[in-house]
Amino acid sequence: MNQPDTADQAANPPLECEMCLKEIPESAAFTPEGSEYVGHFCGIECYQAFLRRQREAEASQE
């Protein structure tokens, strides 16, 4: 029985989308550039939803 290559998995743990927490392969992860590190996203839609949520959180702090 063939086991998956767990050593390779340990070296490259799956990323999670910061918004929907879905596992995303690193090659498919959307990582915004030109901004502070905010995490990885499965797509720009999740990134935009994340930004919207952040803005709302900041607005409600005032």
- The residues of the shown chain that bind Zn ion, judged by CB under 5 A, are 17, 19-20, 42, 46
The span from the CA of 3 to the CA of 8, in Å, is 12
- Per the DSSP assignment, residues forming a β-bridge with 23 are 16
CA distances in angstroms from 52 to 3, 20, 36, 49, listed in the order given: 42, 14, 16, 5
Shortest reach from residue 13's CB to Zn ion, in Å = 17
Of 11 and 29, the one with the shorter C-beta distance to Zn ion is 29
Q: Which residue lies nearer to Zn ion by CB, 15 or 42?
A: 42
Q: Smaller CB distance to Zn ion: residue 20 or 51?
A: 20
